[in-house]
Structure 1
Amino acid sequence: MIFLFLALLFFILGVVIERFKVYGLISGYNSMTPEQQQKVDTKKLGRLIGYYCYTLASLFILIAFSEWQSFTPGIIIGIALTLVATLIVTIKAPKYDGNLYDKDGKPLSGQKKKAKIPLIISSVVFIGVGIMMYFSLQPTAITISEDTLQIAGMYGDDIPLQHIEAVHVLDTLPPIAARTNGSAIGDHLKGHFKLENGDKVKLFIDKGVPPFIEVRTADETFIFNLQTAADTQQLATQLQQHTIQ
């Protein structure tokens, strides 16, 4: 639902900026002095930002539809193209600023370092998001040692077996209300979430591969699964045997 709202928002922004020429909505331009604004090619900048907003609106619709269909590749493609579009705009937009670049698109004397800042920031964000997506999509390694249930990777935890009060196998997930601190890419959910009944839970799951194991301690609830249903069932049996002892 949030992506459909964002799609509508960016489409409206694109129309207002590109069609109605409300350039004051463009970040950076609206904070310039009148003298600095006169050196900006607002027509080209407005067209670029407008088309960028239309592109984002289209990509957010793609992501929303992919989420609805639980089609993880569509979500990944949508997010990746969003990052690429943002990187392109970050590179091109400053070139319409006559305070930084000349008419040939070359940085003015003394402005080279300043002109590179947006590119550096965008590149760092691009790489950071890519790394986060990669690790979010990796299967969670879950093992049982002599006295500990170990959940590796992002948001992982070590749970002493003696602290486990209950182990249940769930055929379906309880309704999830919100993500509070974690990642959610298609069927892959990792981190802290809130259930519709208000309970807090840590998830390490692929929703497309039931069943799921629910582990409860006095303070926390964990729900996780492995790459296959057979592996999940086997892990559940091992956990139940360890906690009974």
Structure 2
Amino acid sequence: MMGLISVQIIISVLFILLGWAIRYKKAYWLISGFASRAEHEKEQLIAKGSPQRTGMLLLSAGIGMLVLLPLLFTSFTYAVEVQFGFMLLYLLGGLVYLSKYEIPSKRKRSYTISTILFIVVIGSLTALTISSYQGYELIIKKDHFEITGMYGDEWNLKEIKRIELMEEMPEVLARTNGVGLPTLSKGHFKVKDYGKSLLFIQKGSSPYIYIELTNRKIFINDKDPEQTNRWYEELRTKWKVIN
């Protein structure tokens, strides 16, 4: 949590400093591509207030993120999504709006590019978020088991070296390639005393199944504790039959 708070503070302060320098110190060279423009284009943009508004956009985005920062200290489940969603929507929407202050000969191109960027980024992130929140199932078959959904796979039951039902989830140290949401951890993480592990974890929903394979360590549970127990008993029974 402290790492996430630190990252958000750093990003917010960076936006504020950049926005302040551009808006009030006229450091227009900080705007991407501005320094390489022809002098007459720079003069037109400044006269229209384009770089000044860019500075205000960054400044207000930083302030907005700081205003939303206290959400992280509340019980609100989607605080992170709200904060970074605000940042992306505000900045990308701001770029579309700023296209109206581009010089006439480049205004249409600027508007088209910024609009496409807005649609692609927001659309991709929305699709990724929806996919991340989609559930998963532990399916046990005759000689193998499968975990469905993103990061899921199939493993032979003979590869299992150990199965354990845990009342508490070991401490997750870091995410290496996965989805870390307020209520869900899915993908590749580093777990204290276990090292690199594959997680399919609904946070705060004890118990948790630990499956140690020949070359993989997996933690999985369901929102419903009874379903987790059923998975454990079925997997354990099939594993004993195989062995």
TM-score by length of 2: 0.84
**Does structure 1 residue 189 correspond to structure 2 residue 202?**
no
The answer to whether residue 132 in structure 2 is matched with residue 136 in structure 1 is: yes
Q: Provide the C-alpha distance between the structure 2 equivalents of 1:68 and 1:158, rounded to a whole number of angstroms.
A: 39
Q: Does 1:59 align with 2:65?
A: yes
Note the residue ranges of structure 1 that are not aligned, 5 or more in a row: 102-106
Partner Cα distance (1:30, 1:189) in 2 = 44
In structure 2, what is the equivalent of residue 239 of structure 1?
235
Segments ≥4 residues shifted beyond 4 Å? 64-70
Query: Which amino acid in structure 1 is aligned with residue 86 of structure 2?
Result: L
Question: Larger deviation: 51-60 or 210-219?
Answer: 51-60
- The CA deviation at 1:123 is 0.6
Aligned: 1:176 with 2:134: no
Aligned length: 235
Aligned partners of 1:70, 1:117: CA distance in 2, in Å?
39
Alpha-carbon distance change, 168 to 100 in structure 1, aligned in 2, over 3 angstroms: farther
**Cα-Cα RMSD:** 2.5
- 1:116 equivalent to 2:112? Answer yes
Q: Deviations over 1:1-43 (max 9, x none)?
A: 2223222322322322233332222223244343432221374
**Are residue 217 (structure 1) and residue 222 (structure 2) matched?**
no
Measure the CA separation in 2 of the matches of 1:173 and 1:60: 32
Aligned to 1:88: 93
Question: What amino acid is aligned across from residue 30 of structure 2 in structure 1?
Answer: L
Aligned pair in 2 of structure 1 residues 241, 173: CA closer, same or farther (>3 Å)?
same
- My pick for the range that moved more, 142-151 or 124-133, is 142-151
Q: Counterpart in 2 of 1:98?
A: 103
Deviations 1:166-188 (A, max 9, x none): 11122222222221111112121
Q: Look up the match of 1:17.
A: 22
Q: Aligned residue for 2:8?
A: 3
Q: Deviations over 1:147-182 (max 9, x none)?
A: 222111111111211111111122222222221111
Identity of aligned residues (%): 26
Structure 2: 5+ residue stretches without partners: none
* Structure 1 residue 207 corresponds to structure 2 residue 203: yes
Counterpart of 1:172, as a letter, is E
Match of 1:222, SS state, is strand
Q: Is the 8 Å Cα contact of residues 66 and 74 (structure 1) preserved in structure 2? A: yes
1:114-171 Cα shifts (integer Å, max 9, x gaps): 5302211221111010011111112222221222221111111112111111111222
Report the CA distance shift for 1:123/1:242 in structure 2 as closer, same or farther (over 3 A): same
